[in-house]
Amino acid sequence: MTSTGRTHFNPRELCSRKLWQLVSAADGDDTSAADLAEAVAELAQRRRYLEQLRELGKLEEPQRH
């Protein structure tokens, strides 16, 4: 546990489905913005749930030139 009493969040330890559940249910949840951002980044790196992340507005669209 950290000095704040919380356990350290490591998104790499969770399966994609659990990360998706965390991200999609984050409204009203006690998930910190930093933890949520890490979960989104991990899902994007795994290339899982990309379309759903875009639909929720959690993933920035790549810049087109």
Task: Show me where the domains of the chain are located.
Answer: 11-56
Cβ-defined contacts of 15-24 (< 8 Å, 24+): 16/43, 16/46, 16/48, 16/49, 19/43, 19/48, 19/49, 20/48, 20/49, 20/52, 23/49, 23/53, 23/56, 23/58, 24/52, 24/56
Q: What is the pLDDT of residue 54?
A: 85
Task: Quote the pTM value.
Answer: 0.67
Residue-wise pLDDT for 32-51, tens only, equals 888 989 988 888 888 888 88
Q: What is the pLDDT of residue 50?
A: 84
